Amino acid sequence: MDSCTGKVVITFHSHYDATRQKRRLSQHGISCALIPVPRALSSSCGTALMLDAEDYSDSLLIDGVEGAYENMEGKWSDLLIR
């Protein structure tokens, strides 16, 4: 996942949590995509969500979120770790 600049990636405890989060964001008019967790973020291989950084808000996150990371010019920074 080398083209994530300006994006936020949210990781989850399960695939189902990722689909629930996607539904929630869609209900708020935020477009996002299911992607495999980028290798740079984790050695585990679950489902993540990618969205534009300006659309990200902690208040919209569901309980099943594991972490959120922002990519700025190829470097990841933690927004949230649960």
73 binds another protein (CB under 8 A): no
Quick one: which of 66, 68, 71 has its CA closest to 79? 68
Angle (nearest 5°) at CA 30 between 35 and 8: 45
User: If you search the block for the tokens 């770790």, which residue do you land on?
Assistant: 81
Residue of 7, 8, 32, 38 interacting with another protein (CB under 8 A): 38
Selected from 35, 53, 60, 80, the binder of another protein by CB under 8 A is: 35
Contact residue for another protein among 43, 54, 58, 59 (CB under 8 A): 43
**What distance in Å separates the CA atoms of residue 9 and residue 41, rounded to the nearest whole number?**
9
**Interface residue list for another protein (CB under 8 A):** 1-3, 13-17, 19-20, 33-36, 38-40, 43-47, 63
